Amino acid sequence: MMTLSEAIRHRRSFYDIKPKSPISDREIIDMVEEALAYTPSAFNMQSARIVLLMKNNHHLFWDTVKNILRQMVPADKFAATETKIDGFGSGYGTVLFFDDTDVVRQFSNDFPLYKDRFSAWAEQANGMLQSNVWMLLEEAGLGASLQHYNPIIDDSVHQIWDIPVAWRLIAQMPFGTPGKKPGNKEIIPVEKRIKIFGK
Ligand SMILES: Cc1cc2nc3c(=O)[nH]c(=O)nc-3n(C[C@H](O)[C@H](O)[C@H](O)COP(=O)(O)O)c2cc1C
SS3 content of the chain, % helix, strand, coil (to 5): 50, 15, 35
Give the residue among 146, 138, 143 at the shortest CA–CA distance from 182: 143
The mean per-residue pLDDT over the stretch 82-102 comes to 98
Centroid of ligand 1 to alpha carbon of 129 (angstroms): 15
Alpha-helix residue ranges (DSSP H) falling in the chain: 4-10, 25-38, 56-70, 78-89, 101-110, 118-139, 154-160
C-alpha 163/C-alpha 148 separation (Å) is: 18
In a domain, 142, yes or no: yes
pLDDT digits (tens, 9 = 90+) for 140-199: 999 999 999 999 999 999 999 999 999 999 999 999 999 999 999 999 999 999 999 999
Q: Are 10 and 18 in contact (CB under 8 A)?
A: no
Average pLDDT, the chain: 97
Q: Are 135 and 51 in contact (CB under 8 A)?
A: no
Q: Are 48 and 126 in contact (CB under 8 A)?
A: yes
In a domain, 40, yes or no: yes
Q: Are 162 and 90 in contact (CB under 8 A)?
A: no
Asked whether 13 lines ligand 1 (CB < 6 A), one says: yes
17 strand-pairing partners: 178
Centroid of ligand 1 to alpha carbon of 189 (angstroms): 19
In a domain, 52, yes or no: yes
In a domain, 196, yes or no: no
Q: How much of the chain, in percent, has pLDDT values that exceed 90?
A: 99
pLDDT digits (tens, 9 = 90+) for 10-67: 999 999 999 999 999 999 999 999 999 999 999 999 999 999 999 999 999 999 999 9
In a domain, 195, yes or no: no
Q: Are 17 and 93 in contact (CB under 8 A)?
A: no
Asked whether 182 lines ligand 1 (CB < 6 A), one says: yes
Q: What pLDDT does residue 2 have?
A: 87
Per-residue pLDDT band for 122 (boundaries 50, 70, 90) equals very high
Other C-beta atoms closer than 10 Å to the C-beta of 143 total 27
In a domain, 118, yes or no: yes
Show the domain range for 47.
4-181
Per-residue buried b or exposed e for 13-36, using 16+ beta carbons within 10 Å of the residue's own CB: ebbbbeeebeeeeeebeebbeebb
Per-residue pLDDT band for 110 (boundaries 50, 70, 90) equals very high
C-alpha 16/C-alpha 86 separation (Å) is: 10
Q: What is the pTM of this model?
A: 0.97
Asked whether 185 lines ligand 1 (CB < 6 A), one says: yes
Centroid of ligand 1 to alpha carbon of 194 (angstroms): 21
The mean per-residue pLDDT over the stretch 116-133 comes to 98
Q: What's the structural domain count of the chain? A: 1
Q: Are 173 and 154 in contact (CB under 8 A)?
A: no
- Examine the pLDDT at 1 and tell me if it is beyond 80: no
In a domain, 192, yes or no: no
In the chain, what is the straight-line distance between the N-terminal and C-terminal CA atoms, in Å?
Answer: 33
CATH number, domain containing residue 125 = 3.40.109.10
Centroid of ligand 1 to alpha carbon of 99 (angstroms): 20
